[in-house]
Structure 1
Amino acid sequence: MKSVLGQCGIGALLLLAVLLAGRLQDFSSLHVGSGAQMASAAAVVAAWVGWTARAAWPRRRDDLPHDVGGILVVHASQTGFATELAERTAAALREGGVRVDVRDLAGLGASDLATATRALFIASTTGEGDAPDGAMAFQREVMRAAPDLHHLTYAVLALGDRDYEDFCAFGRDLDRWLHARGALPWFDRIEVDNGDEGALRHWQRQVTQLAGAAEQPDWQRPAYQAWRLRERLLLNPGSVGAPCFHLALTPDDPAHLAWEAGDVVEIGPRRARGDADVLPHREYSIASLPADGSLHLVVRQQRGADGLLGSGSGWLTALAAEGDAIDLRVRRNAGFHVPADARPVLLVGNGTGIAGLRALLKARIARGHLRNWLLFGERHEQADRLHVDELERWRDAEQLERLDLVWSRDVRGPRYVQDRLRAAAEPVRQFVADGATIYVCGSLAGMAPGVDAALREILGDRAVEDIAAAGRYRRDVY
C-alpha cells in the first residue's frame, strides 16, 4: 500500500480529508454499532486507490491468471523502420530487466491480446492512410471483431509523413480501436513525422520510465558513413519527363559494401558543395548487389513549383560532383527481400521503381532462381529505357522467364502495368498458385493502387490479403 500511495496518494488522501474533515459530523456518530457506515467509507477509499493505482502504472504480472509476463512489443512496418524501432524499444525494456515479447502485427491474433496485459504498438502508415501490407489480415479479422480488452494497458507510437493527407492514419485507427475495446492507455499516443527525432526521444523516455531503467543516451539514427559519387549517367536523354540518372557510389571503407537486395539507403543531402549542413534525409531503393562493387541508385530529378531542385534529387543529380563525399547509410528492409528458395516471383513497377526490382532480379539470377516475371512501365519506348537493355539481355539468356514492357505514351495495347496485369489474368493466377511472391516498386500515386486493384480483380480481396499476411505481397512504393 505504501508504494501505491507513493504514486497516487494525493487523490486518496484528499478523499480521506473530505471524509474526515468536511464530513466530520457524520463521523461523530460512528461508534460501535455503525460499522456499515465505516465499511462504506472504507470501500470508497479503496475504490479510489485501486483506480488511481491502475492508471499510474502497468498491472503486475499476477493481476490476471493468463498474463504471459513481460511486455508485448508489436510492430507493423512497411519499409522496416517500425521494426527497427521495435527492436530499440525492446532493448530499452530489457535494460530495465523487463521481459519482452517482440511480435509482428501480421502474426498477432485476438488470442494473443487475450493473454497480454501490457503492450506497446509501433505502427506505420503506408499509401494514403493504409495499414502496412502485412497488417491487413489483423485489420480485417481482429479489428473488425469485438474482443474485450479491459485487461490490457497499452501505448501506441504512430509513424507517418505529414506530406500525406491521412497522417498516421493506421496508428490512429489502432489506438482508437484499442481504447474502444476497453484497453487503458499508458500515455497519450505519440506521432512521428518522417522520423522526427524529438518525437522518438519522447517515446524512448516514456519506455525507459516504464522499464524503471537508468537514463539512456538519446536514440539517434545511425551515423552516416562516408561514400563517394563515382558515376552519374543520364538514362533517358530526349525524354519528355524529368531527367533520370543512374548513380554509382562507393564507400571510403570497403567493409560498408554490405546489404541485401530490397534494402534502402538514407542520403544526407546538402544545399551545395562544401555546405556543412546536412538536410533531412531522403530514402532511395538500392539497384545493385555488393558483388557489383558499388551501390547503384536510379534517381529522377525533381523540382518544386518554384522551379528549385529537390533537396535529395538535386544534390545527387546536379549539385554533387563525381568524387564528392556523400553522407549515406544502408537501412535493412527485410520486408522487401527475395525468398530464400526458388519459388516464382512476379515483379511489377514503373519509373525509378526499376531500382528495387533490378536488385531483386540480380539476387535471384545470382542464386540460379530463374522463375522471374517482370512487368515494367514507362512513357516512351525510345527515350525511357531505364536499364531496359539489361532486362532484355536477361530475358534472352532465359534468366528472366517473362518480360512485359508497357509504354504509356506510345498507346499500343494496355497503357499501364495494371492494365497489362488484367490482360494476363490467367497466367497471374497460375503464377500465384505456383507459390509466387509479388513485389511492387515505384510510384504511390496511380501505379501502386492500380496494381492492387487489378490483383484484387484477378485473385479476389481475400486472396490478396492472405498472401500479404503470408509475406507474399510486398511493396516498396513512394
Structure 2
Amino acid sequence: MSQLVKYGKNLINSQHANLSYLLNLFIKLLFLLGFVLWAWMFSLNSSHTQTRFSIEGVTQHSNGEKVFDSFTIKQLEFFDETRLIVLNQEFEIINYLSSIQLAIAHLLEQIGLLFCAVIVVISLLLWHQKKQHKLSLFAFGFVACALFSGCFTLFNLDVNNGLSLYASIGILIVCFVFYACCYSLLNARSQTASTLLAFASQSGTAMSIAERFHKQLPNTFDLRCLSSLTPDCLGQYRQVLLIASTYGEGAPPETAVTFLNKMKKTQTLTSKVNFSILALGDRTYQHFCAFGHQLAHLLSSKGAKQITDVIEVDRGDKDAIGHWWQQISHFIGNEQSTVSLSDNYHRLNTRSNTLVNPKKPKRAAHRITFKNEGLTYQAGDLLEVIPKYDAIKCQQMLREKGFDCQQQVIFQNTEMPLFEAVRQSNWLGENATSAQQLVDVLKPLPPRVYSIASAPHESNIEIFVRRHFDDLGKPGLASNYLCDLSENELISARIKHHANFNLPKRHCPTILIGAGTGIAPLISLLKGMSVNEQRLPAWLFFGEQSKSTDFYFKDEINAMLSDKSLTHFTPAWSRDGGGYITEQLELHASSIKKWMLDDNAMIYLCGKQKGFGDSVISCLKSILEERVYQSLIEAKCIRVDLY
C-alpha cells in the first residue's frame, strides 16, 4: 500500500503533460463504455419489447378484467424491483434480464461512474496549471453530459422512463464530436510548447530569475522546477533552458539530486533535445558553478545538444545573466531580448545593534533590528542587503586621486555624491578624467542575503550576523558593514522570498536543527508557529560552544518552552562536555525516526555546510536510511538551508 501511495504522489507531482494524457485516455474509455452500454440497452429493448409472456396465477373475467392471486403479485413485484423483469401497466412482461446479465450491467455502470470520478480528480489537479483551465472545464462539462445522457446512471430498460435511447445516443454523439474538436485544438496548442525553462534552486535565486524570464515568454513556454522532471519529460521539448545554482562546494541543490540519479541511469534521451545552461555560483568557493557544468556534461553524454556555452554568473552578476538571455532569445526567436533585472530596494532604518557575546571578539555575533516600513514576508524568508565600503576610507582614497568626494554623479540611475557611489561599487583605485567617467565603468557590489530571525507579525525585521574575517585576518565586507551599523543609520535592502524554507501549509510536528547563526531562521519559524491556535510538537536541536556565552535567543527560547510552542529543546554545548549535535541526534534516533515516519513531521536544517551541515545530513541518512531521506527531500518534508 505504501508503494502505491508513493507511486500516486510521484504521478501527481509529475508533469501536467502526463496528467493531460491520462485525462484524454479516461475520456476515450468513458466514450467507449457509453457506446457499449447504449448498444446493449438498444439490443435488449429491440429484441424483447414486442414479446409477451403468459403469467401463471392470472384469471380473466368475462368482462376482460385480469385478476392476479396474491402469490403471483408478490413474485412480480419482487422481480420488477430487482430489475430482473420490466412490466407494463397490465402486468405484462415486456423485458427481462438474467441475474448474470443484470450483474454485468451494474458492473459496467459502476466502472462508468468510476471513470467519471477519475476524470474529475485529474481535472481538479490540472486546474492548478494555469494553462490547463480550458481542458479541465471541458472535462467537467463532458462528465456532466455523460451522466445526464443516462448511460452511467441507474441501469433502466424501460424506455418509457427518463431519456429515450435515441436521446441518449444523440447526447453521446454530440459529446464525441465536441471532444474530437476540442482535443484537436488543445493538442495543436500543446505542440507549440516546445521550449522548457527549468530551474534548480536552493535559496530561491534561480527560481526568481526563471520566473522573471518566463514573464517575457509566450504562454506556450513551460516553467518547471528540476525536481519535478524526469529524463522522459525532457524528450517532450525541442529546447530546454536550465538555470542551475551550485550549492556549497560544487554540490547540486537538494531537490535536484533525484533528477541527476535518474538521468545517470538513462541510456539516452528519447528524442533530440537542444539545451543551454545558466550556472549560478560564487567565485569565493573553489568549485565555482560546478553543478551547472556537471549538468551540461551529463546532458551531452545522453544525446542532448548544447546550443551555447555554459554561462557562469558570479553572485547574481546582471551583465552575465543579460548576456545569456540575449543569446537564448536569438535562438528561440523571442523578440524581446532584454529583460529588466533591477530590483526595488527599500531604505530601512536601524533600530538596534546588539553584540550578544562580548567575551568572544573573534566570534562576535550581532542581533540587528530594522524598522519594518511595510515590507511583507514569511517566516523563513531572507533579507537581501546592499553592502557598502567604509565611508572614511573611500573618501580618503578619492582625495588621493584628486576627486571631489561630494561631487554629484549618476550611479544605477540615482543621483548621489561620488563617495556614496564608490562605497557601493567594486572600485579598486582606478583613475579617470572625471567623476562621472569613473562611475560609469564601475560595477555595483553584489547583494548579500541573511536569514530573518523575526516573525511577520512583529514590528521590526531582525537579522543575526557574525563578524567575519578570512584566513589572513581581512574583515568581510558585508558582515562588518552590518555589525558596525549605528542607530538610525539607513541601509538598502529588500525581502527575498525563500519558498524552500517557509512553513508548510499543513500543520505537523517539526524538528529544527541549527548551529551558530543558523539558529536565526529557526527562531523565525518557531515564532511563526506560535501564533497558530493549534499547538503541535516542536523540537529544537541547537549546537554551539558554550552555554554561558553562546546561548543565543535564550529569552525567546525559554518563553516558547513556557507557552509550549516549543515542546523539546536539546542543546549541544561542545566545550561544556555536551558533545556535538550529531551525537544528540544519534542519542534520540528512535524518536526522530518515529516523528518522521509515523507522525509525518518536518525537518528544517540551517547552518554552515562545511563540518556542521555535511555531518548532520550524513547522520540523518543513517537514522532514516538514505533512500527514505531522499524521498523526504523530494516530498519537501526535509528542508535544508546551508551556507
Same fold per superposition (TM over 0.5): yes
Shift of residue 195, structure 1, vs aligned partner: 1.0
> Which among 90, 93, 99 is matched to residue 214 of structure 2?
90
Cα deviation digits, residues 425-462 of structure 1 (max 9, x gap): 10010111111111111111111101100001101111
> Which among 564, 575, 583 is matched to residue 419 of structure 1?
583
Match of 2:272 in 1: 151
Q: How does 1:389-428 map to 2 (within 5 A)?
A: 389-412=555-578, 415-428=579-592
Match of 1:336 in 2: 501
Shift of residue 322, structure 1, vs aligned partner: 0.9
The answer to whether 1:267 aligns with 2:385 is yes
Cα deviation digits, residues 231-270 of structure 1 (max 9, x gap): 111112323751111110124xx322x1111111111111
1:418–1:451 CA contact under 8 A, matched in 2: yes
Shift of residue 476, structure 1, vs aligned partner: 1.3
SS at match of 1:248: strand
> Aligned pair in 2 of structure 1 residues 211, 93: CA closer, same or farther (>3 Å)?
farther
Match of 2:467 in 1: 301
Distance in 1 between residues matched to 2:390 and 2:333, nearest whole Å: 45
> Which among 596, 600, 606 is matched to residue 432 of structure 1?
596
SS at match of 1:445: helix
Report which stretch shifted further, 306-315 or 349-358.
306-315
Shift of residue 68, structure 1, vs aligned partner: 6.7
Match of 1:208 in 2: 329
Match of 1:61 in 2: none
Distance in 1 between residues matched to 2:242 and 2:337, nearest whole Å: 21
Q: Which amino acid aligns with 1:380?
A: S
Distance in 1 between residues matched to 2:253 and 2:208, nearest whole Å: 15
Cα deviation digits, residues 181-219 of structure 1 (max 9, x gap): 111122111111111122111122123323433445553
Match of 1:245 in 2: 366
Q: Which amino acid aligns with 2:583?
A: D
Shift of residue 67, structure 1, vs aligned partner: 5.2
Q: Which amino acid aligns with 1:183?
A: A
Shift of residue 69, structure 1, vs aligned partner: 2.4
> Which among 521, 527, 552 is matched to residue 356 of structure 1?
521
Match of 1:255 in 2: 374
> Which among 467, 470, 475 is matched to residue 640 of structure 2?
475
1:92–1:208 CA contact under 8 A, matched in 2: no
Shift of residue 333, structure 1, vs aligned partner: 0.8
Question: Structure 2-normalised TM-score?
Answer: 0.61
SS at match of 1:84: helix
SS at match of 1:271: coil
Cα deviation digits, residues 97-118 of structure 1 (max 9, x gap): x611111111111231232222
State the Cα RMSD in Å.
2.0
SS at match of 1:174: helix
> Aligned pair in 2 of structure 1 residues 130, 299: CA closer, same or farther (>3 Å)?
same
> Which among 535, 543, 546 is matched to residue 377 of structure 1?
543
Question: Structure 1-normalised TM-score?
Answer: 0.81
The answer to whether 1:166 aligns with 2:292 is no
Match of 1:448 in 2: 613
1:129–1:170 CA contact under 8 A, matched in 2: yes
Q: Which amino acid aligns with 2:566?
A: L
Structure 2: which 5+ residue stretches go unaligned?
1-187, 393-418, 425-444
Q: Which amino acid aligns with 1:355?
A: A
SS at match of 1:367: coil
Size of the aligned set, in residue pairs, is 406
> Aligned pair in 2 of structure 1 residues 148, 115: CA closer, same or farther (>3 Å)?
same
Q: Which amino acid aligns with 1:400?
A: L
Query: Highest relative contact order (Cα 8 Å, sep 6+), 1 or 2?
Result: 1
SS at match of 2:265: coil
Distance in 2 between residues matched to 1:356 and 1:342, nearest whole Å: 18
Distance in 2 between residues matched to 1:240 and 1:420, nearest whole Å: 28
Match of 1:291 in 2: 457
Shift of residue 348, structure 1, vs aligned partner: 0.4
